[in-house]
């Protein structure tokens, strides 16, 4: 690690950073260790004091906390509150932390006890409805994506160190997708949430001919009402649209109005 | 202007001769769910790849002269000082083989604002000046309204233009560079019969246009209807996704973003094509947004293309290629929007 | 196979003779922040000098014009020049911390190199105002673009009749260029300052700028129709009110000038981000006469 950091003559501090995981696959943290070519420069910007996937040392004095995963247990809630107290900047890292992520799919079931029995059988386990970090503590920065995109993490970390405001694209994935001159997935007969999902992923899925599932949550002028018409016009059921909108939890505000209220038993939750 | 005719098989020889440069042309990229071919402009290496009878491409050839993302310059930072390196990002001439009249006219319109106005942009100029264009005539599609915009024929802005006369091509030559390439083919002077055939082909083509836009007094009508409710109707449909601008051969609006490299020793200034339909297009520092509503942004798009540009250059910034309407998932098309603003039945 | 000749656009003869050289688009002036003067909590005055002495001398601008200021990697944005044109490429910019670039600028030390391009845009036609009375009106940060024409008027004081400066701010602590007020008054400028929320340091008038304007209009009524020009800088709500009041008092629209503020990404009529209606603020503006502003869709 080189000595002090500075940019354009302005002295910068290398923030003390800790990485944490709540209920998650830890795949977002794994992304941090990818992109080897820039890995040394990336970690040179930070003073990592806790990172279970990469080191055994542990220190509880930190400025920035990257928290991956959603809150599903009482102990996680406590842990999160402690992290919040210690960190100056708390980063919701990945879609689970930002919106609940794939985990929150279980919230769709009306009968939570049934879910528990189905998944864990007789094994007693504490599991509550899934909540994103912002439901419990104040979140300073969101890093969207399932998983997060390393290039975006690098930019956000650099901006944080240099003191720039963290900015995200406000427009939808279509803009990134078109910049890559992809064939529109609707032309190929595939459903896609690209028109309403926040860009910044470089249209990762559509580039590979996979319709967008909305892991980055809604764009700032997301016209979900119109997307509903478009999906219907292309012959997709409202269930197909809902499956995607509900998958990562980012669109929860839009879903309530779309889902039919006649869900009686837990078993009818589809798409799982 | 010089006119020649060539037998169709001669064209491959021209292509071969031009291959010493980077050649871009229409190819079949795939098919949609109904099996309809999808064409796009790609770098081609073999004459057989070229689909010169293509309907139209989903995307214009814009990325070869106005890339979606372009590095304007890079910086090397040393303490509180720096060195700037500017690169126009073009290193060899490019041949655009098989552009339709609308796309050539699009370049002519871009020239007005990016090349011939105050502060010409060297990034565009260097690509435009190193471009060799072989135009080709086309079959009007149901969505083409270029005839309404006066862009159904290209009068200038190309090196060579081909019109299909059946067994041969009628060739219009507009540059010394193009004339120089004629020696690679067997050409002959057009006969009176060729002229008549050319005019018959053109006339038959004119009959085929279906979509149209009434541009009479359009600048004034747009001003009068600035508060019209129809904008809200279209605004409600609009996804604010920027697709119309991305597939538009004349949309040039952009945003600049500067980035610091991870090593804190380098930085870059990037240009990204933007779209006036995107929510943050008119946002200023501090967060105020001059066009927060979807319909105000959509309206602005029509104002820029069909009013502002006309005011500045006596012509519209639309070539009627219809790509935006075809690409728009919400089915917002230029002929329908303008008809509704004119209170016409749609 | 036959290669086409590669054209270097920077060396090429251009028969179409563009008004500005292609090379000036991105090869901006390298400049140095020679001094930083904190004026309030939010605003600092930056003295910026084009490093190359010849280019510095060759840098001429008119009051009301703006430059694009760039800090590599951080950003580039337009700023109205606050200094007098006679200082040429040794300019002063008054900058408020509101975004990425300006927050970073608030931290840089003197000696830092920045990029300057310009000057761009239209200006206040000060020469046209010779022999006339002139009212300069600023609300808030509007004093930044107003300071350059004020300096010009001051340096050419004999060529103008009465000179009024009317300046309104929210709080006394937000007043800018306070160190100049005495000098302006001594140079026979009638300076009127009003604040909305006074504190214990304030013993001047309290209220909105329109209140003090009303009072001054009363005093100037006889000269407004014939021999007076006005320059108005501030947020759209403010200049609309002010200009409408002046208009009602008889000042013709073409003798009132306002400066519009938009986010520009190029300053050169290319990026379209600053368009109002379908007019480029960077080319046709930022200074417009009030008649033009009234005719711009979306301006107000």
Chain A residues whose CB is inside 8 A of the C100 CB are 164-165, 167
**Hey, of C69, C73, C98, which one would you mutate to test binding to chain A, going by the most A CBs within 10 A of its CB?**
C73
Chain A residues whose CB is inside 8 A of the B294 CB are 221, 223
- Collect all residues with Cβ–Cβ distance below 8 Å to B229 and sequence separation of at least 6: none
Contact C29, C42 (CB under 8 A): no
For chain C, the structural domain boundaries read 22-120, 127-259
CA distance C286 to A249: 45
Domain C127-259 has CATH 3.40.50.80: yes
Tokens encoding C26: 């991105």
At residue C12 the predicted structure's pLDDT band, cuts being 50, 70 and 90, is: confident
Mean pLDDT check: name the lowest of B237-251, C10-24, C238-252: C10-24
Residue A266 confidence (pLDDT): 45
Residue C16 confidence (pLDDT): 57
E strands, chain A, where? 5-7, 10-12, 16-21, 47-50, 64-68, 89-93, 141-143
Q: Determine the residue of chain B that is closest to A5 in CA distance.
A: B264
At residue A265 the predicted structure's pLDDT band, cuts being 50, 70 and 90, is: very low
Partner-chain contact B241 A174, CB within 8 Å:
yes
- pLDDT of A269 > 70? The answer is no
Chain B residues whose CB is inside 8 A of the C264 CB are none
For chain A, the structural domain boundaries read 5-162, 173-258
- pLDDT of A260 > 50? The answer is yes
Residue range C22-120 forms a domain whose CATH class is mainly beta
Instruction: Decide whether C22-120 matches C127-259 in CATH topology.
Output: no
Partner-chain contact C20 B118, CB within 8 Å:
yes
State the smallest CA–CA distance between residue B52 and chain A in angstroms. Answer: 20
Using one digit for the tens of pLDDT, what is the confidence trace for B293-344? 999 999 999 999 999 899 889 999 999 999 999 999 999 999 999 999 998 7
CA distance C110 to B184: 64
Q: Does C34 touch chain A (CB under 8 A)?
A: no
Tokens encoding C160: 């103008």
CA distance C63 to C83: 8
For chain B, the structural domain boundaries read 1-63+85-209, 213-346
- Chains A and C form CB pairs within 8 A to the count of 30
Report the topology of domain A5-162.
Rossmann fold (3.40.50)
Q: Determine the residue of chain A that is closest to B287 in CA distance.
A: A167
Does the complex come out with an ipTM higher than 0.90? yes
Using one digit for the tens of pLDDT, what is the confidence trace for B64-76? 999 999 999 999 9
Chain C residues whose CB is inside 8 A of the A10 CB are 104, 107-109
Q: Does A227 touch chain B (CB under 8 A)?
A: yes
State the smallest CA–CA distance between residue B116 and chain A in angstroms. Answer: 26
Residue A267 confidence (pLDDT): 44
CA distance C14 to A259: 63
DSSP H or E segment with residue B4: strand B2-7
| Subunits close to A (at least 3 CB pairs below 8 A) | B, C
CA dihedral A117, A121, A123, A127 (to 10 degrees): -30
- pLDDT of A263 > 60? The answer is no
Partner-chain contact A165 C99, CB within 8 Å:
yes
Q: Does C186 touch chain A (CB under 8 A)?
A: no
Residue C285 confidence (pLDDT): 85
Q: Which of C15, C296, C269 lies closest to B313, judged by CA? A: C269
Q: Does B283 touch chain C (CB under 8 A)?
A: yes
CA dihedral C241, C244, C250, C251 (to 10 degrees): 80
Q: Determine the residue of chain A that is closest to C113 in CA distance.
A: A8
Q: Determine the residue of chain C that is closest to B257 in CA distance.
A: C75
At residue A132 the predicted structure's pLDDT band, cuts being 50, 70 and 90, is: very high
- pLDDT of A270 > 90? The answer is no
Chain A residues whose CB is inside 8 A of the C73 CB are 7-8, 162
Measured at the alpha carbon of residue A195, what is the angle toward residues A189 and A199, in degrees to the nearest 5?
120
Using CA atoms, how far residue B67 sits from A112, B70, B279, in Å, is: 51, 6, 22
Q: Does A37 touch chain B (CB under 8 A)?
A: no
Q: Determine the residue of chain A that is closest to C103 in CA distance.
A: A164
Using CA atoms, how far residue C33 sits from A17, A44, B208, B342, C43, in Å, is: 34, 29, 64, 54, 15
Using one digit for the tens of pLDDT, what is the confidence trace for B80-112? 999 999 999 999 999 999 999 999 999 999 999
At residue C300 the predicted structure's pLDDT band, cuts being 50, 70 and 90, is: low
- pLDDT of A261 > 80? The answer is no
- Mean per-residue pLDDT of chain C: 89
Using one digit for the tens of pLDDT, what is the confidence trace for B9-56? 999 999 999 999 999 999 999 999 999 999 999 999 999 999 999 999
Q: Which of C96, C7, C12 lies closest to C46, judged by CA? A: C96
- Mean per-residue pLDDT of chain A: 90
- Chains A and B form CB pairs within 8 A to the count of 122
Chain A residues whose CB is inside 8 A of the C99 CB are 165
CA distance A172 to A170: 7
Percent of chain B with pLDDT strictly greater than 70: 99
| Subunits close to B (at least 3 CB pairs below 8 A) | A, C
Residue A112 confidence (pLDDT): 82
Residue A59 confidence (pLDDT): 85
Tokens encoding A3: 């000595």
Of A174, A181, A184, the CB nearest to B242: A174
Partner-chain contact A178 B237, CB within 8 Å:
no
Tokens encoding C22: 């292609």
Using one digit for the tens of pLDDT, what is the confidence trace for A216-236? 999 998 999 999 999 999 999
CA distance B309 to B178: 31
Partner-chain contact C104 A164, CB within 8 Å:
yes
State the smallest CA–CA distance between residue C28 and chain B in angstroms. Answer: 9
Contact C153, C136 (CB under 8 A): yes
**Hey, of B47, B77, B119, B185, which one would you mutate to test binding to chain C, going by the most C CBs within 10 A of its CB?**
B119
Q: Is B8 exposed, middle or buried (0-12, 13-18, 19+ CB in 10 A)?
A: middle
Chain A residues whose CB is inside 8 A of the C70 CB are none
Using one digit for the tens of pLDDT, what is the confidence trace for A11-56? 999 999 999 999 999 999 999 988 889 999 999 999 999 888 778 8
pTM: 0.92
Peptide bond into C286 cis (omega under 30): yes
Q: Are strands C228-233 and C133-139 parallel, antiparallel or unpaired?
A: parallel
Q: Rg of the Cα trace of chain A? A: 20
Of C100, C111, C112, the CB nearest to A164: C100
DSSP classification of residue A23: B
- pLDDT of A79 > 70? The answer is yes
Of B17, B121, B255, the CB nearest to C2: B17
At residue B271 the predicted structure's pLDDT band, cuts being 50, 70 and 90, is: very high
At residue B284 the predicted structure's pLDDT band, cuts being 50, 70 and 90, is: confident
- The 3-class SS string of B134-199 reads EEECCCCCCCCCHHHHCCCCCCCCCCEEEEECCCEEEEEECCHHHHHHHHHCCEECCCHHHHHHHH
Chain A residues whose CB is inside 8 A of the B280 CB are 170-171, 220
Residue C19 confidence (pLDDT): 54
At residue B345 the predicted structure's pLDDT band, cuts being 50, 70 and 90, is: low
The dihedral sign for the CA sequence A114, A118, A124, A127: negative
Q: Which of B243, B251, B249 lies closest to B325, judged by CA? A: B243
Using one digit for the tens of pLDDT, what is the confidence trace for C190-199? 999 999 999 9
Q: Does C277 touch chain B (CB under 8 A)?
A: yes
């Amino acid at each position: 690690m080189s000595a002090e950091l500075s940019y354009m003559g302005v002295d910068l501090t290398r923030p003390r950073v800790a990485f944490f995981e709540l209920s998650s696959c830890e795949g977002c943290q794994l992304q941090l260790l990818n992109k080897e070519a820039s890995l040394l420069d990336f970690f040179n910007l930070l003073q990592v004091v806790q990172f279970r996937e990469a080191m055994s040392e542990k220190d509880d004095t930190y400025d920035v906390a990257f928290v991956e995963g959603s809150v599903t247990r009482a102990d996680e809630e406590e842990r999160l509150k402690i992290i919040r107290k210690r960190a100056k900047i708390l980063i919701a890292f990945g879609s689970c932390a930002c919106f609940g992520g794939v985990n929150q799919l279980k919230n769709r079931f009306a009968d939570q006890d049934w879910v528990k029995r189905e998944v864990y059988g007789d094994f007693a386990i504490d599991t509550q409805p899934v909540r994103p970090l912002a439901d419990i503590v104040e979140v300073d920065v969101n890093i969207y994506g399932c998983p997060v995109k390393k290039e975006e993490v690098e930019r956000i970390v650099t901006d944080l160190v240099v003191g720039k405001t963290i900015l995200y694209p406000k427009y939808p994935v279509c803009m990134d997708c078109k910049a890559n001159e992809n064939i529109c997935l609707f032309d190929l007969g595939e459903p896609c949430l690209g028109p309403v999902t926040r860009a910044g992923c470089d249209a990762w899925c559509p580039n590979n001919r996979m319709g967008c599932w909305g892991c980055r949550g809604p764009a700032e002028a997301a016209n979900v009402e119109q997307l509903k018409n478009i999906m219907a016009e292309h012959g997709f059921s409202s269930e197909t649209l809902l499956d995607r909108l509900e998958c990562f939890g980012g669109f929860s505000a839009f879903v309530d109005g779309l889902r039919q209220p006649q869900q009686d038993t837990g078993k009818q939750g589809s798409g799982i | 202007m010089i006119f020649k005719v060539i037998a169709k098989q001669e064209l491959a020889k021209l292509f071969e001769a031009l291959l010493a440069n980077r050649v871009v042309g229409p190819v079949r990229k795939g098919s949609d769910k109904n099996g309809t071919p999808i064409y796009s402009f790609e770098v081609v290496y073999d004459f057989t790849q070229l689909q010169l009878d293509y309907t139209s491409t989903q995307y214009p050839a814009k990325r070869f002269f106005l890339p979606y993302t372009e590095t304007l310059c890079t910086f090397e930072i040393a303490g509180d000082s720096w060195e700037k390196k500017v690169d126009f990002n073009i290193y060899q001439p490019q041949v655009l083989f098989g552009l339709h009249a609308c796309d050539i006219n699009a370049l002519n319109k871009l020239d007005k604002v990016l090349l011939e106005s105050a502060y010409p942009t060297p990034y565009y100029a260097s690509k435009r000046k190193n471009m060799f264009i072989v135009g080709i005539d086309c079959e009007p599609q149901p969505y083409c309204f270029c005839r309404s915009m006066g862009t159904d024929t290209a009068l200038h802005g190309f090196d060579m233009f081909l019109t299909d006369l059946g067994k041969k091509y009628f060739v219009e030559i507009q540059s010394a560079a193009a004339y120089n390439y004629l020696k690679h083919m067997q050409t002959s002077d057009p006969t009176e019969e060729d002229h008549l055939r050319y005019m018959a082909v053109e006339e038959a083509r004119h009959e085929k246009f279906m979509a149209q836009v009434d541009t009479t007094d359009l600048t004034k009508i747009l001003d009068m209807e600035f508060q019209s409710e129809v904008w809200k109707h279209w605004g409600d449909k609009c996804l604010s996704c920027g697709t119309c601008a991305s597939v538009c051969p004349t949309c040039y609006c952009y945003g600049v973003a500067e980035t610091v490299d991870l090593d804190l020793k380098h930085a870059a200034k990037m240009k990204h094509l933007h779209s006036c339909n995107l929510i943050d297009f008119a946002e200023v520092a501090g967060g105020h947004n001059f066009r927060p509503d979807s319909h105000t942004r959509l309206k602005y798009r029509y104002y820029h293309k069909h009013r502002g540009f006309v005011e500045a250059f006596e012509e519209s910034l639309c070539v009627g290629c219809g790509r935006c309407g075809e690409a728009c998932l919400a089915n917002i098309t230029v002929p329908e929007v303008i008809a509704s603003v004119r209170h016409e039945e749609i | 196979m036959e290669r086409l000749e590669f054209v270097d656009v920077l060396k090429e003869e251009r028969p179409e003779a563009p008004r500005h050289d292609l090379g000036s688009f991105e090869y901006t002036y390298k400049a140095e922040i020679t001094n930083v003067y904190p004026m309030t909590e939010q605003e600092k005055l930056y003295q910026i000098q084009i490093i190359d002495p010849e280019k510095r001398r060759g840098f001429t601008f008119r009051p009301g014009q703006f430059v694009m200021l760039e800090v590599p990697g951080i950003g580039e944005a337009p700023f109205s020049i606050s200094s007098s044109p006679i200082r040429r490429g040794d300019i002063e910019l008054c900058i408020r911390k509101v975004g990425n670039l300006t927050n970073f600028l608030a931290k840089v030390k003197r000696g830092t190199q920045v990029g300057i391009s310009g000057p761009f845009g239209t200006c206040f036609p000060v020469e046209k105002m010779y022999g006339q009375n002139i009212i300069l009106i600023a609300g808030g940060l509007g004093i930044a673009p107003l300071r350059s024409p004020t300096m010009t008027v001051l340096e050419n004081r004999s060529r103008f009749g009465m000179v009024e400066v009317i300046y309104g701010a929210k709080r006394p602590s937000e007043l800018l260029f306070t160190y100049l007020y005495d000098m302006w008054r001594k140079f026979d400028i009638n300076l009127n300052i009003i604040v909305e929320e006074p504190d214990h340091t304030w013993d001047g008038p309290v209220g909105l700028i329109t209140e003090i304007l009303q009072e001054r209009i009363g005093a100037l009524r006889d000269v407004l129709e014939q021999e007076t020009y006005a320059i108005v800088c501030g947020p759209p709500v403010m200049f609309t009110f002010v200009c409408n009041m002046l208009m009602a008092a008889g000042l013709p629209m073409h003798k009132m000038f306002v400066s519009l503020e938009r986010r520009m990404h190029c300053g050169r009529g290319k990026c379209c981000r600053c368009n109002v209606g379908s007019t480029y603020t960077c080319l046709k503006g930022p200074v417009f006469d009030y008649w033009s502003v009234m005719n711009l869709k979306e301006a107000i």
